[in-house]
Structure 1
Amino acid sequence: MRTTESQLPLERLLGKASAGAIEKNLGLGTVGELLLYFPRRYLNRGELTPINGLPFDEEVTLIARVVSVNSRRMRQRKGSITDVVVADDSASGAGSLKISFFNGWRAEKELRPGLRAMFSGKVGFFNRALTLTNPDYVLIDADGVDAELAKAPIPVYPATAKLPSWKIGNAVAALLDAVELDDFPDPVPQETSRREGFIGLPEAFRMIHRPADAGQWQQARERFRYQEALVLQTALARRRAQTAAQQAVSRPGLEHGLLAEFDAALPFTLTGGQQTVGRELAGELAAESPMHRLLQGEVGSGKTLVALRAMLQVIDSGGQAALLAPTEVLASQHYQSIRRTLGPLAEGGMLGGHESGTQVVLLTGTMPAAAKKEALLAAASGQAGIVIGTHALLSDQVQFFDLGLIVVDEQHRFGVEQRDALRAKAAHPPHLLVMTATPIPRTVAMTVFGDLETSVLRELPAGRAPISTFVVGLAENPAWFSRLWQRSREEIEAGHQVYVVCPRIGETEGAESSSGDEPDDSGPDTGAPDGGEDGRSMASVLEVVEQLRQEPALSGCRIEALHGRLDPAEKSRVMADFAAGSIQVLVSTTVVEVGVDVHNATLMVILDADRFGISQLHQLRGRVGRGGLPGTALLVTELEPGHPSRRRLDAVAATTDGFELSQEDLKLRREGDILGANQSGGRSTLRLLRVLEHESVIEMARADANRIIAADPELAAHPALREAIDASLNPEKEAFLERG
């Protein structure tokens, strides 16, 4: 295959120094990669940037007018400081910013009052005012500028501290003048471009990087946005087709087997949603191509029961099922819950067990050697039909007799390599069921989980009581803190139990990380600020336990701690005692976020709730109201009512609809690295596509991609599209699309 100009290394056209800086700071190495590095926004040369709206502690690019320039000698060391005050000409006069240059002789000479310049740097804070220190800059009012160019929008590229926007723009401009854009392969089929009226690829590159007016870059963005969606959706469609072509072992079950016995013994009727999804899974398990299904549902919607019925169907067909859970607490909860639910059916071959039953075993990294050896033997011999475990399931020691179904709980906590390691333990491609209790917006599911068929459980089983959620603002009502424990006592007096959740384990550690194979007892997720950055201390389990043991309102109550650093035996003992009702108040980290099922717990107090993201808060409150008793969640915060982080708390208090909250969560957190491991915040791998804003584009691209793959599975007639997938979705990134 010939090398196109888009594949040329940047060094060939830009020189070693410029290409090296771009590679180091942006990770871009070829002509095509840099031309696909699009401007984030555009500045109008005639308009100054509103200074009051600048974000703190972020890299910014702005146009401002120089008001004054003053230099002074430094007292403590050699050299001088040049202070430049710039303004945005706002009517209130509030739009000003002080910029400091250390030994800024060039700035002192060039930045004369009245001139406009473009500055790029990180916004700081000093003496109660925003500042820039040693920013890069370029003059806008330069002499000899062409009149037409002076009207053109200025592209602003996502920049770094060492590579400002205009240096990226200069490199892009050099490429536009040096390469033959007509030779670039176009991933968008010609018939699609004609149908949608898209401009050609060469023109699109010129108009997005060097627009004459706003209309040009908008037109180019539309075209590239669709191109991005098409490349992504074609990769997913190709993966779905490859999965469908694999040969799996059919697991149709038995008419009078273990599943039938289980269903007959159920003391309640399955919800309509559970029955519908159950039929979907049953049909796919009976097929000879592997099932790849995402099961998402509300907290408490009965996903585990649906998954258990699928496991029993596989066991009836002679296979085994593995359930992979992210933490020891959750794995242990699944083990105990499934054994309790199955009863004698989980004691096959044992005294008192059912003659057609199976065995359920637990495997975690911190189990005693003898218990681990017994579990390994049961899995390898086929004696255990259901093997539940943490990351310990992935070790080379673990072997299965006939692994037919993999169930991954809370999928976002596992890397692709971990899921592949479990898959590799099966003799034939196993069926896959991925579960998440965090509802996913439809557009995100189409984009991120597009190679999985999706099932949704929306209705809650009978007996699930509503959960009332309230924001407890201590800033405006300090006295409410003592009322929390009086309210807790009222629940305890009524015979119920209370959770108290804290963001940290203890006072001394920084970011938490658990020992053993339990990586997720790590405090708040990235939807909330990191602990301590704003100077506020966070509630910790160890401190709160001691405080509550001294709290008069809770006198006589048994109060215990639960967190990821406890000894496994101690952890199990605490959970067993809480489940048995002998512990009245459980103070814990987020280890109770998923899977923990104590029906008598009716109140959850979440301290420093603003430290958690929306999905975590929604998960946490799902631990109460599980036994037919009304549940209450109190979101405690010391933030002022107008603080942006309180918006998350207000959103959670306003609705119990997880799908509605997931939309709000994505808006607040931004999309993050959609294709990468980083699932929230930060810069997205997606360039122009925004999964909430561009649903119609994603749907159109998905339909087009399905048609293309149906007619041409290997993309033989679409080499440019195939090359674009290979270039933009390298093996590492494409693997992240494989959410199983």
Structure 2
Amino acid sequence: MSSSDDSVTPEGAGADDAAVTSGPVQAYADLGLDLSRLIGDKAGRSVFKGLEIQTAGEMLHQFPRRYIARGDLTDLNLLEIGEDVTILARVVALNTRYMQTRKGTISDVVITDNSGRPSDLVISFFNGFKAKTELKPGVLAMFSGKVGSYNGHKVLTNPDYQLLPDDELAELEVEVHVSKPVPVYPATAKFPSWRTQHVIDALLPVLDLAKVPDPIPAAIAKRERLMPLAEAYEQIHQPDSMEAWPRARKRFRFQEALALQTSLAQKRFEATHLDATGRAPVQGALLDAFDAQLPYTLTEGQQEIGELISSEVAAGHPMHRLLQGEVGSGKTVVALRAMLQVIDAGGQAAFLAPTEVLAAQHLHSITALLGDLGAGTLIGGPHATQVTLLTGSMPVAAKKKALLAAASGEAGIVIGTHALLSDHVQFADLGLIVVDEQHRFGVEQRDSLRAKALKPPHLLVMTATPIPRTVAMTVFGDLEVSELTQLPAGRAPIVTHISPLAEHPGWEPRVWARTREEVDAGHQVYVVCPKIGDEGGGSKNSSSDALIDLDELIDPYENRGPGSASSSGGESRPMAGVLDVLQYLRRVPALDGTRIEMLHGRMDSAEKQGTMAAFARGEIDVLVSTTVIEVGVDVHNATLMVILDADRFGISQLHQLRGRVGRGGHDGTCLLVTNLEKGHPSRKRLDAVAATSDGFLLARQDLELRREGDILGARQSGGASGLRMLSVLRDEDLIQRARQDATDIVDADPGLKYHPALKLEIDMYVTEKNEAFLERG
């Protein structure tokens, strides 16, 4: 929805906009003050230690996550294991007993919610003398802590708690507060919700909120029916009723969306006004020769997006486009055609990959697609080009040769890893940068490669991890987004099954029998583990391509397989590690005689390259690996993937991993092996992956099941985060409107000269803590 003209142009500013769009606007200086000056040194230090918040403005924008109406007790059945919670409940009973193995006591508190039934949630205090005294039956209290699990029960161990007034005398004494909703703030282990509330209650009376300039133009605020800013601050923190805070929250959601989208719109505006070298198509040159020899027809999506990219590359300002699509959707061909257009126009293309394995894979794929056209002019004819690889582990002589080819212009396409960012790398005329899996790179890395061009180069970012459109619009807001949703002909569907060993422990041998069937049929198998494993008793249990192991690994597979359930159950068992699984599988009778090898991030580059090359040549039957194979490893003969402890991976990662099989026209199968009991929250992810192969649908479900901070890079609790109030799924329509408003504002007023309050808001919003979030694209 577009904003009206009078909100974005000085000439058309209406009377309501006069205060916003004309005259100097001063920031409210008190928001920049150290909290200690307003609430005292001790309290200020406590807030900084607990929440990493230092200024009054940061504290003012520490908004509640939710609100509890007085008498509206928390539904205890909805609590999930592993969740940080603040609950309102009534004490039913308290039982104290002596510990058997050490000195001291344990006090178990039984609580209830509105159902009136005792909850299966057990609250325990070790040596909780204060709790024993205060938490009498009938008492109303708020408890804050992390939900754990013990003997089949949900538990809160040593939670913070606060007693709440609940009798007639207390109601008379605190009549004003009793009727108001209770705000629940983001909490940390050292700073529960009510401590934040106490700080806010002390802070609000010393701030003159009327002095905070409103960043939203009056016409837009009127259209959105937004609560006035000063009132919104009061009602978000100290709402008069359960009807008041939603209106305050709506105001800050839109305010945040407008600030974020305006910042991104400014980046897009700057990019479109940079002077770039247009690389128009050249008839009868390399691109036409490539199209003529393609053994298949491009999909409709590839053709449509290819034409769009071609027109943008030919323009006189740099292209900034995100191309996302499923694994195998044909992104590489689209990128290659753009690179060939640039080469035809006299430029070069740099292809940046996150790992050496992936860079080598792209070299193989691109040279295979080009054939003789990628062999240089002597063999490939007048329109051929040279494709060069540059990685950090290359021999010195090979590296010097690649550097010379890039600097002289002999190499039209230079594929590499972070080595491309080195000061020693130069290009004759860099016209296009292709970045694969952008989330693996920082903004500084991308910009250092841009700096190697004579003029700002065109930029094409690719990702095989599907991103919901609103997320892409928010996280990659300075890029235009294109999606490839069709799969090329010949891609077989991937069937995904869950192997729940908690319910069916006897299924584990069947997993390896199924593996042997694929090998006997002439195919190959991946076995994926969440970590590398212990090496000689050392402590190296993590790597850049494996999850961090939080469990102690003690001879886990001596008497049981890596998929079997343990007596401790659930999360307490060790995760499957590559080193241990490799040895275990070599002893499994069903796999006797098969060639089993491993791949992980602690191997040196030459060893990794050699292992992947051997697997690609069919010299390895079963490859036991970490997620190093998640992106880019392309072995057409691989038809089965077994993911051990699949519940340790996220939805998008599972979808990305299974995309490695079924790429050669053969049916692909993925087995998600888990020890978690049915109904465990983490099983929901596995159910989602098994139910659909639509990566964009899964990305949306992933966002719904997980905290958005996991995807957007925001912190999960406490402190400042990438998004304060916005939910990229719930607020889709609002974000769309704010994006259009931001575009209109920036088109008419790029430097925000006539929107100084909005500029102030952006300056405050774009802090060091979320700068990387805003510039991730």
1:488 counterpart letter in structure 2? T
Compared CA separation, residues 511 and 219, structure 1 to 2 (3 A) = farther
Asked if the contact 1:57–1:124 (Cα under 8 Å) also holds between the matched residues in 2, the reply is: yes
Q: Where does residue 93 of structure 1 map in the other structure?
A: 118
**Match of residue 137 from structure 1:** 162
Query: Which residue of 291, 309, 314 corresponds with 2:319?
Result: 291
Structure 1 position 216 matched with structure 2 position 244: yes
1:44 is aligned to 2:56:
no
Per-residue CA deviations over 1:339-378 (Å, capped at 9, x if unaligned) read 122122222155x343332211112222222222222222
- Matched with 1:571 is 608
Match for 1:467: what amino acid?
I
Partner residue of 1:179 out of 194, 207, 221: 207
The 3 A distance-change label for structure 1 pair 575 and 675 is closer
Shift in Å, 1:124: 5.4
The aligned residue for residue 195 of structure 1 is 223
Change (3 A) 1:146 1:579: closer
Cα distance, 1:66 vs. partner?
4.3
CA contact (8 A) 1:524 1:612 kept: no
Residue matched to 2:574: 537
Identical counterparts, % of pairs: 60
Instruction: Sort the Cα spacing of 1:491 and 1:80 in 2 relative to 1 into closer, same or farther, 3 A.
Output: closer
Equivalent of 2:652, from 600, 603, 615? Answer: 615
1:646 aligns with 2:683: yes
Q: Is the 1:670–1:681 contact (alpha carbons within 8 Å) kept by the matching residues of 2?
A: no
Shift of 1:737: 2.4
Q: Structure 1 residues 70 and 298 mapped into 2: Cα distance closer, same or farther (>3 Å)?
A: closer
Output the CA distance in 1 between the equivalents of 2:107 and 2:660: 58
For residues 600 and 743 of structure 2, what CA distance do their matches in structure 1 show? 47
In structure 1, runs of 5+ residues without a counterpart are none
Aligned pair partner of 1:30 in 55, 60, 66: 55
Provide the residue aligned with 2:140 in structure 1: 116
Q: Distance in 1 between matches of 2:600 and 2:750?
A: 49
Give the counterpart of 2:767 among 722, 725, 730. Answer: 730
Within the candidate set 304, 328, 342, 2:370 is matched to 342
Q: Specify which of 249, 274, 277 is matched with residue 249 of structure 1.
A: 277
Deviation of the 1:183 alpha carbon: 1.0
Equivalent of residue 399 in structure 1, options 426, 433, 456? 426
Is 1:268 the counterpart of 2:284? The answer is: no
For structure 1, which segment, 441-450 or 605-614, has the greater mean C-alpha deviation from structure 2 after superposition?
A: 605-614
The alignment status of 1:8 with 2:30, answered yes or no, reads: no
Does structure 2 retain, via aligned residues, the 8 Å contact 1:41–1:157? yes
CA distance in 2, matches of 1:372, 1:698: 47
Are the equivalent residues in 2 in contact too, given 1:669–1:680 (CA < 8 A)? no
- Between 130-139 and 619-628, the greater mean CA deviation after superposition: 130-139
**Residue 62 of structure 1 is aligned with which of 80, 87, 91?**
87
**Corresponding letter in the other structure for 2:242:** A
Give 3-state SS (helix, strand or coil) of 1:37's partner.
coil
Given residue 375 of structure 1, which amino acid in structure 2 is its aligned partner? A
* Letter aligned with residue 326 of structure 1: P
C-alpha distance in 2, partners of 1:677/1:43?
25
Deviates more, 1:461-470 or 1:640-649: 640-649
Q: What SS is found at the alignment partner of 2:709?
A: coil
Q: Aligned residue for 2:482?
A: 455
Compared CA separation, residues 99 and 362, structure 1 to 2 (3 A):
same
Give a deviation string over 1:7-27, Cα, whole Å, max 9, x none.
333233212222222233223
Q: Which amino acid aligns with 1:670?
A: R
Q: What secondary structure is seen at the aligned counterpart in 2 of 1:672?
A: helix
Q: Is 2:147–2:154's contact at 8 Å kept on the other side of the alignment?
A: no
Secondary structure of the residue that 1:617 maps to in structure 2? helix
Specify whether residues 113 and 656 from structure 1 end up closer, same or farther in structure 2 by C-alpha distance, changes over 3 A only.
closer
Distance 1:57 1:390 in 2: 37
Change (3 A) 1:450 1:13: same
Return the alpha-carbon distance in structure 2 between the equivalents of residues 641 and 72 of structure 1: 33
What are the equivalent positions in structure 2 for 1:364-443 lying under 5 Å apart?
Answer: 364-443=391-470
Deviation at 1:55, TM superposition (A): 4.5
One-letter code aligned to 2:467: I
Q: Would you say the 8 A contact 2:542–2:548 is kept in 1?
A: no
Relative to structure 1, the CA distance from residue 149 to residue 478 in structure 2 (aligned partners, 3 Å threshold; closer, same or farther) is closer
- 1:636 Cα offset (Å): 2.0
1:501/1:607 contact within 8 Å kept: yes
Distance 1:684 1:295 in 2: 27
Contact (CA 8 Å) 1:59, 1:161: kept in 2 or not? Answer: no
Q: Please, which of 674, 677, 697 is the counterpart of residue 637 of structure 1?
A: 674
Contact 2:533 2:541 in 1 (8 A): no
**CA contact under 8 A between 2:139 and 2:163: conserved in structure 1?**
no
The 5 A counterparts of 1:574-723 are 574-672=611-709, 676=713, 685-723=722-760
Q: Residues 679 and 348 from structure 1, CA distance in 2 versus in 1: closer, same or farther, beyond 3 angstroms?
A: farther
Counterpart residue type for residue 438 of structure 1: T
Question: CA separation in 1, counterparts of 2:510 and 2:435?
Answer: 41
Tell me whether 423-432 or 40-49 shows the greater mean CA deviation.
40-49
Q: Secondary structure at the match of 2:571?
A: coil
Instruction: Provide the alpha-carbon RMSD of the alignment.
Output: 3.0
The answer (yes or no) to whether the contact 2:641–2:661 under 8 Å persists in 1 is yes
Which residue does 1:466 correspond to in 2? 493
Q: Are 1:147 and 2:175 an aligned pair? A: yes
| 1:681 Cα offset (Å) | 13
Aligned with 1:476 (options 481, 485, 503): 503
What is residue 22 of structure 2 aligned with on the other side? Answer: none
Secondary structure of the structure 1 residue equivalent to 2:597 = strand
Q: Residues 623, 162 of structure 1: CA spacing in aligned structure 2 closer, same or farther, 3 A cutoff?
A: closer
Is the 8 Å Cα contact of residues 99 and 131 (structure 1) preserved in structure 2?
yes
Residue matched to 2:19: none
Q: In the aligned structure 2, how far is the partner of 1:222 from the partner of 1:300?
A: 41
Asked if the contact 2:91–2:137 (Cα under 8 Å) also holds between the matched residues in 1, the reply is yes
Count how many residue pairs are aligned between Structure 1 and Structure 2: 729
By how many angstroms is 1:217 displaced?
0.7
> How far is 1:65 from its partner?
3.3
Q: Distance in 2 between matches of 1:575 and 1:464?
A: 22
Describe the superposition over 1:571-612 as per-residue Cα deviations: whole angstroms up to 9, x where unpaired: 223222222223222222222222122222222222222222
Q: Which amino acid aligns with 1:354?
A: G
| Structure 2, unpaired ranges of 5+ | 1-24, 551-561, 563-568
Deviation, 1:452, is 0.7
CA–CA distance in structure 2, aligned partners of residues 43 and 420 of structure 1: 47
CA shift for structure 1 position 64: 3.3
The code of the aligned residue for 1:666 comes to L
Residues 477-531 of structure 1: CA deviation (Å, up to 9, x unaligned)? 33332223333333333332222222222334767555xxxx4x224899xxxx9
Check whether the contact 1:448–1:674 (CA below 8 A) recurs between aligned residues: no
Q: Answer yes or no: is the 8 Å Cα contact 1:673–1:679 preserved in 2.
A: yes
Contact conserved, 1:465 with 1:630, CA < 8 A, in 2?
Answer: yes
CA contact (8 A) 1:559 1:585 kept: yes
Whether contact under 8 Å (1:672, 1:682) holds in the other structure is: no
Q: What letter is aligned with 1:641? A: K
Tell me the secondary structure at the aligned position of residue 561 of structure 1.
strand
Q: For 1:210 and 1:557, how far apart are their aligned partners in 2?
A: 67
CA distance in 2, matches of 1:445, 1:732: 20
- Tell me how far apart the structure 2 counterparts of residues 433 and 571 of structure 1 sit (CA, whole Å): 28
Deviation at 1:314, TM superposition (A): 1.2
Deviates further, 712-721 or 542-551: 542-551
Could you tell me how far apart the structure 1 residues matched to 2:93 and 2:531 are?
A: 48
Q: Map of 1:479-494 to 2, 5 A cutoff?
A: 479-494=506-521
Under a length normalisation based on structure 1, what TM-score does the superposition of the two structures give? 0.91
> Structure 2-normalised TM-score?
0.87
The whole-number CA distance in structure 2 between the counterparts of 1:485 and 1:661 is: 28
Q: What is the CA-CA distance between 1:409 and the residue it aligns to?
A: 0.6
Aligned-partner Cα distance in 2 for 1:731–1:201: 25
In 2, are the aligned partners of 1:511 and 1:522 still within 8 Å (CA)?
no
